[in-house]
Amino acid sequence: MNFVKPDLLTLALDAGQTGVRTLLIDGDSRSLQQFPGVKTDRELFPQLAEFITTSLEGLNAPVSLSIGMTGLTAAQSKPAELLELLPANVLDVSLAHDSITGFLGALGTQLGVVTAVGTGVVTLGVGETDMVRIDGWGNLIGDAGSAYWIGRAGLEAGMRVYDGRILSSSLLTLLTENFSHPEEAYIELQTDPNRVARIASYAKRVIELAEKDEEARRIVNAAGHELALSAVTAAERVGLRDSDTPLFSWVGNVMKAEMLKDAFVSAVVKAVPQAQFVSPLAEPIEGVALMSSLPEASPLRASIHTASRE
């Protein structure tokens, strides 16, 4: 699974709210760097330009740049504007939503459905001639089953225990471990500029508690069912649900939790008994690196925005 252009250095950038990673590929040499997450209350391109410039510091060789990012909007899908902010040795830019690059990392050029679960969540289905995106609509009106969704549900359950609305649950410890005054937790979160990433970070603890706590287990199972609903819907909309062996895969550290993955797989199989599950072929950032040389016939091509220097 290697479409990287042989005559250029390739810089892949995977941008999310929790963190940003860059991967510089020079032949067999690979250099990975980690940066803080993208701030949604600031201009996007200057932030990306800073990460890219830092990653290319001291290099004068020509570079092909590929970017996959969460929450990419139509207004932001203007790689030519980004190119103007970058060093002159960056010759071209390919820009896409992270659902595209997550799919490439998981399944390459195969047809199927990939659910990318991180702070948020988005599912992509790719059929013979079409593709569809399901969810990825942000923490306020979407991202069902995401780390944020799980973390928030855990905190809400903790407050219910604190109030006495739930008689017993160890999810109360999610509050007491992280907030010295549970009554003020909502104020502390509301005023935290990093509240989305912060709330998402609590998903790990909710999943840990689910091994012994019924309420936490209910939350994790519900998240798996939400993710499965999106995956099955994607398969339906691109004509794969009734195929002989529709492929389903996933990306993101959240899906490394066996309980969540098992709930997801079980719910998909209930709806699509012939479903086949494929472990991701590579990390999402590897999918970013593949984007610029994706075959023209791929249904994904229409969702990749490109620009190059004249």
| pLDDT in the model for residue 7 | 64
- CB atoms < 10 A from the CB of 19, how many? 15
In the beta sheet, which residues pair with residue 19? 36
What pLDDT was estimated at residue 84?
92
Tell me the whole-structure pTM to 2 decimals: 0.82
Distance CA 118, CA 132 (A): 19
| Whether the Cβ atoms of residue 92 and residue 37 lie closer than 8 Å to each other | no
Q: Select from 191, 192, 114, 199 the least CA-distant residue to 150.
A: 199
Query: For the chain, which domains are there?
Result: 9-105+282-308 (3.30.420.40), 109-277 (3.30.420.40)
Residues (pLDDT < 50) of the chain are: 4
The answer for residues whose C-beta is within 8 angstroms of residue 275's C-beta and 6 or more apart is: 246, 248, 268, 269
- The reported pLDDT for the residue numbered 252 is 86
